[in-house]
Amino acid sequence: MRWGVVVFPGSNDDQDTLWAIEQVLGEPVVRLWHKDADLHGVDVVVLPGGFSYGDYLRCGAMARFSPIMDKVIEFAGRGGLVWGICNGFQVLCEAGLLPGALVRNRDRRFVCAMSYVRVEDNDTPFTRLCRRGEVLRIPIKHGEGCYVADATTLELLERNRQVLLRYVDANGRATSEANPNGSLDNIAGIVNESRNVFGLMPHPEHAVEKWMGSDDGLKFFQSVLAAQRNPGTTDRTAVAPGH
């Protein structure tokens, strides 16, 4: 399976995502240059973390108009897998591929820390190797990761099981203290209605080897790989929700 990682001006975690795919997952990956309106036949597009266009104006607002984004939107429309991490998530929201928006953290400060997220649904290509209710340790690092959407959108997200990840404490409880940025309903990651576009604020590419403090992030990469190889099955087992 061929992966593509988009490089916008100001992308920073592109190298780390490439490393995770190439060196840890062991899959072929290409860099996709933002000025290049061509996806070079990849099977999955990753929009990496960073500060595209310096996060000036609004995070992701300008990257969304890069020539490559027209192709990404088209690709997503055809059911192609598109995955946005942190700044990539912000770009996907700005592009209208995912609902809602990401705004300044509740306490106005950038936060870099290990976070716990609970997998809310595994019926997607991105989370299929996770169990429902499973708690993963994945670092976050962002200044504008507070997820907001209007009440109707939130209701739809819940109804369609589009919320894939929520910030929780070590015991899996989605408390206010466990919410690092003020995201509504502790939302850390969502998928679109057709379940082929995924955005999350935590950085799975920084949790792919034990020495990094966690390798839980690898599960998302492996899920995508498994989905590509064997589109049918999902692990339906769930762990008890930690409420």
Partner 1 sequence: MNWENMVRPVDEYHAIEHGLTPEEFERLCGALGRAPNLVELGVVSVMWSEHCSYKSSRVHLRKLPSTGPRVLQGPGENAGVIDIGDGLAVAFKIESHNHPSYVEPYQGAATGVGGILRDVFTMGARPIAILDSLRFGSFDHPRTRYLVDGVVAGIGGYGNCVGVPTVGGETYFDAGYNANILVNAFTLGVLPANRIFRARAAGVGNPVMYVGSKTGRDGIHGASLLASAEFRGEAEEKRPTVQVGDPFTEKLLLEACLELMEEDVIVAIQDMGAAGLTSSSVEMAARGHTGIWLDLDQVPTRARGMTPYEILLSESQERMLLVARAGCEDRVRDIFAKWDLEAVVVGQVTDDGLFRASYAGREVACLPIALLTDEAPVYERPARPPSDLDVRQQLRLDRIPQPQDWNEVLLRLLDSPNLASKAWIYRQYDCLVRGNTVVGPGSDAAVLRIKGTDKGLVLSVDCNSRYCLQDPYVGAVIAVAEAARNVVCAGGEPIGVTDCLNFGSPEKPEVMWQFVEAIQGIRDACLALQLPVVSGNVSFYNETEGHSIPPTPTIAMVGLLQPVRAFTTQWFKSEGDVIALLGQTREELGASEYLAVIHGQVAGVPPWIDLAVERKVQEVCLRAIREGLLASAHDVSEGGLAVALAECCVTHPEAPLGAVVELPASMRIDALLFGESQSRIVVSLKRRNWPRLRDLAQQLGVPCAMLGEVRGRRLVVHPWIDLECATLREVWANALPRRMEMAESRGEDRTQ
Partner 2 sequence: MRKSTAAFAVWPEEESVRARVFVMPKKEVLDPQGKAVARSLQALGFTEVGEVRVGKLIELELQADDRRQAAERTEAMCRKLLANGVIEDFSFEIEE
Binding to partner 1 (CB under 8 A) within 2-31 occurs at 9-10, 12-13, 15-16, 19
Q: Look up 59 and say whether it is catalytic.
A: no
- DSSP string of the chain, one letter each residue: --EEEEE-TTB-THHHHHHIIIIII---EEEEETT----TT-SEEEE--B-GGGG-SSTTTTGGGSHHHHHHHHHHHTT-EEEEETHHHHHHHHTTSSSSEEE--TTSS-EEEEEEEEE----STTTTTSPBT-EEEEEEEESS-EEE--HHHHHHHHHTT-EEEEEE-TTS---STT-SS--GGGEEEEE-TTS-EEEESS-GGGSSBGGGTB-TTHHHHHHHHHHHH--S-----BPPP--
**Identified binder of partner 1 from the candidate list 26, 41, 78, 109, rule CB under 8 A:** 109
- The answer to the question of residue 64 lying near partner 1 (CB under 8 A) is no
Nearer to partner 2, 60 or 217 (CB): 60
- The answer to the question of residue 143 lying near partner 2 (CB under 8 A) is no
Binding to partner 2 (CB under 8 A) within 60-89 occurs at 61-62, 65
Q: CB 68 → partner 2: shortest distance, Å?
A: 17
- The answer to the question of residue 145 lying near partner 1 (CB under 8 A) is no
**Identified binder of partner 2 from the candidate list 4, 100, 145, 217, rule CB under 8 A:** 100
Of 7, 3, 200, 9, which is closest to residue 90 (Cα–Cα)? 200
- The answer to the question of residue 93 lying near partner 2 (CB under 8 A) is yes
Binding to partner 2 (CB under 8 A) within 101-130 occurs at 101, 103-108
Answer with the entry of partner 1, partner 2, none that 118 interacts with (C-beta below 5 to 8 A by kind). none
The alpha carbons of the chain give a radius of gyration, in whole angstroms, of 16
Binding to partner 2 (CB under 8 A) within 168-197 occurs at 182
Q: Look up 205 and say whether it is catalytic.
A: yes
Residues that contact partner 1, how many (by CB under 8 A): 33
- Residues of the shown chain interacting with partner 1 in the complex, contacts defined by CB under 8 A: 9-10, 12-13, 15-16, 19, 49-51, 53-56, 106-107, 109-114, 139, 141, 143, 176, 182, 203, 205-206, 211-213
* Residues belonging to the active site: 86, 203, 205
